[in-house]
Structure 1
Amino acid sequence: MLPFDLPPPAGFSSTPYWNGKAFVVDGQDLQILEYSENFAGWSDDLTALHEEAAGDSHPIDLASRNDAIAQIKRCLPGGQGVVMEIGCSSGFLIRDLVKALPQATIIGADVVKDPLFRLADTLPGIPLIRFDLLQCPLPEQSIDVLVMLNVLEHIEDDVGALNNAYKLLKPGGYLVIEVPACPFLYDSYDAELHHFRRYAASDLHNKLQGVGFQIRRKSHLGFLLFPAFAAVKLLNKMLPSRKDKPVVGEQAKRTSGNGIVKIAMELESRYMASWALPFGVRALAVAQRPG
C-alpha cells in the first residue's frame, strides 16, 4: 500500500490501490498506472539505443548512480521514506535503490511505455507510474526524496517541471538532480538525444531557487574527464563530417569500454566525491523544499 492516494487514470473510476504486485483499479490488476505521455524530449527508441550502447555499466553512469544513492542516504538518515525516481526508464537506479534502501518505499516514474512494462516484469514489487511531470497527477507533498538524473534537459518547460517537483515534495523534502553541463558544448550528440539544452550550473541553481528550493549541494560529475570531453564535443560542432550525424551509439560504446574513462571516474568517486567540483561533464545539485 502506498502512503498516499492516487487519482484514477482515464477510463477508470475507483482510487488505485497498490497490493504489493500491481495496481488494482475497478477490480483490474494493472502493471503500470498510466496517466499521460510526452515524447517531445524522449522516446522508447532512445531508451533502447542507450541500453544497447552503454548498458548499465558505463563508468559515468555508474558514478552518477552511486553519487545519487549517497545523497539520498544523507537525505534519509533513517533509511525510511518515499523515494521517487522520475525518468527511471530502464530501471538501473531503481534496482540499486531497492538494495541500498530496503526500508524505503521506492517508486519509479517515466513518460515512456515499453521500458516501464519491461521493468515491471523484472521488478514486480516496485510501483511504476507513467506520467508527464508537466501534467503531474500525484498529490502534492507526498514524496520525501525526488530523483531526476538527466531528465530536466528533456523537458521543454523546465521551470514548470521544477515547480511541479517542488509541489510533489513534502516540506523539508529533497530533490537530487543531475543535468548535462556547459551550454556551449551543445552538439549533434545532444540533439540526437532530444536535449532541449545543456546547463550552466548557475542557471540550474537560479531556476531551482526561483521556484522556492534552497540549494544544499553544488558540484559536478566528470571533472577529470572534462578536458577530453569538451574537445570531443567541440569537434562534433566544428567538423562537417560530424554535424547532424548520429553519434550517440558510437561514442557511448567507445567510452563505455574505455579504461581511461573507468579509472578517471573511479578516482573521482573515491577521492573527490565530497568536493564541490567547479566544472565537469554533468552538473549536480541537491535542493530542499523549506519546512
Structure 2
Amino acid sequence: MSGDSLRFPPLREGGAEPVWDGEGFVIDGARSGCLRYPVGESGWRDELTNLHKELSDGRHFIDIASRRLAVDALRRHCSGADRTILEIGVSEGHLLKDLQAANPGWRLVGADYTFDTLTRISGLRAPIPLVQFDLAKCPLPDAFADGVVALNVLEHIERDDLAVAQCFRILKPGGVAVIEVPAGPELYDDYDRELMHFRRYRLKPLAASFAAAGFDVLERTHIGFLLYPAFYAYKRASRLRTKSNAPKAAPPESAHVVQAIGLSSRLGAFGRELMATEDFLRRFAYLPFGIRCHLVCRKPLRSG
C-alpha cells in the first residue's frame, strides 16, 4: 500500500526525510528496505531468534490465539480502510501477514529493536515500511498511527513506563493500542532471564499504568487461562530447580527454554481446542488469570 501520508523523520540531523514509495525507502536518492534509527546494544542473540523460529515457527497455539485476539481488536476498534497500523516487535512477521489478510486497506508499518530481525521478514503479500528503533526513545512523529500493537515487547524494555508514554504520543486521538505481556511476576525464572525479560506482569497494575499515561482501558483479559494450573506448576518447579542446583550442575539456561517451549508445542490440536474454548468463555466472562495479559486501550479524542 502507498505510504503517501506517512512521515518519517530524517535519519540524521539536516538530512532529507525518507520517502516510502510502495517498494522501499528513498533516502537522498538511494534506496533502502529499512530505516535504521540509533539504538543501543540489545544483547539479543541470533541463538534466541533461531530457537523461537525452530520450536514455534508461528504455529504455536498460544501465539496463534494472541495474534487472533490482536487482529480482532483492531478490526473492531480500527475498522475501515486507510488506517495506519504499527506493529512493534515484528519477530518473524507472522502478525503482519495476518494483518495484511485481515484488511488489505490498512497501511501497515513494522518495527523492531534489532535490525537482523527486520531483514529476516519474508512472505508478506506486499512490501511494507520496516523501521528499526528503540520504543522508549521512539523517533516517529506525534499522531503517527491509528493503531499500535505490541505483543510480548514491554517485558524486554527496562523503562517500560517510557515505552507506554511513547505509544500514547504516536497514536492519533481515538487511536488504539493492543498490548500483550507475560503474566505472573511470581513465576519469573531462568526462562524469562534467558529471553531477556525484565519482568512479568499483573493485569490490574498494567492497566493502571496505561490509564496513568492517559489511555482509556477498553478491554482486558488473559490468554492461557485453562493451561495456567499446569503452567504454574512447571514454572514453580523451574524456580525450585534453579535454587537447588549448584551453578556448575545446573543445565544451560537455554535448555529451560527448549524444554518449556517444546513441551507446550506438543499439545498440538488439544492446545488449539483449549484456545477455542477460551474464546468462547471470553464472550461471557472475564478470565482472571493466565499465561499472558492482553490489554486494549484507546487514546481519548481529546487528551491533556
- Which of 294, 297, 303 lines up with 1:284 in the alignment? 294
* CA deviation string 1:2-26 (max 9, x = no partner): 4232112138821111011100000
SS class of match (1:216) = strand
Aligned-partner Cα distance in 1 for 2:144–2:23: 21
Aligned-partner Cα distance in 2 for 1:288–1:266: 26
Which deviates more from structure 2 when the two are superposed, residues 63-72 or residues 268-277?
A: 268-277
Structure 1 residues 42 and 266: alpha-carbon distance in aligned structure 2, compared to 1, 3 A threshold: farther
Structure 1 residues 195 and 47: alpha-carbon distance in aligned structure 2, compared to 1, 3 A threshold: same
Residue in 2 aligned with 1:267? 277
User: Offset at 1:182?
Assistant: 1.1
Residue in 1 aligned with 2:8? 6
Q: In the alignment, is residue 184 of structure 1 matched against residue 186 of structure 2?
A: yes
Aligned-partner Cα distance in 2 for 1:233–1:127: 38
Which deviates more from structure 2 when the two are superposed, residues 11-20 or residues 45-54?
A: 11-20
* CA deviation string 1:127-158 (max 9, x = no partner): 11011112211101110000010000000000
Q: How does 1:164-175 map to 2 (within 5 A)?
A: 164-175=166-177
User: Offset at 1:257?
Assistant: 2.3
Which deviates more from structure 2 when the two are superposed, residues 1-10 or residues 199-208?
A: 1-10
Q: In the alignment, is residue 249 of structure 1 matched against residue 258 of structure 2?
A: yes
Structure 1 residues 61 and 228: alpha-carbon distance in aligned structure 2, compared to 1, 3 A threshold: same
Contact 1:219–1:278 at 8 Å: present in 2 too? yes
Which deviates more from structure 2 when the two are superposed, residues 253-262 or residues 48-57?
A: 253-262
Structure 1 residues 135 and 45: alpha-carbon distance in aligned structure 2, compared to 1, 3 A threshold: farther
SS class of match (1:190) = helix
TM-score, L = length of structure 2 = 0.90
Q: How does 1:29-108 map to 2 (within 5 A)?
A: 29-40=31-42, 42-108=44-110
Residue in 2 aligned with 1:258? 267
* CA deviation string 1:187-220 (max 9, x = no partner): 1111111000000111101111111111111111
Structure 2, unaligned runs of 5 or more: none
Aligned length: 291
Aligned-partner Cα distance in 1 for 2:289–2:81: 31
Aligned-partner Cα distance in 2 for 1:52–1:12: 43
Contact 2:81–2:103 at 8 Å: present in 1 too? yes
Which deviates more from structure 2 when the two are superposed, residues 116-125 or residues 277-286?
A: 116-125
Structure 1 residues 38 and 89: alpha-carbon distance in aligned structure 2, compared to 1, 3 A threshold: farther
- Which of 24, 27, 32 lines up with 1:25 in the alignment? 27
Residue in 2 aligned with 1:110? 112
SS class of match (1:107) = strand
> RMSD of aligned C-alpha atoms?
2.0
Aligned-partner Cα distance in 2 for 1:2–1:51: 34
Instruction: Kindly provide the amino acid, as one letter, of the partner of residue 253 in structure 1.
Output: G
TM-score, L = length of structure 1 = 0.94
Structure 1, unaligned runs of 5 or more: none
Determine what percentage of the aligned residue pairs are the same residue.
40
Aligned-partner Cα distance in 2 for 1:231–1:6: 47
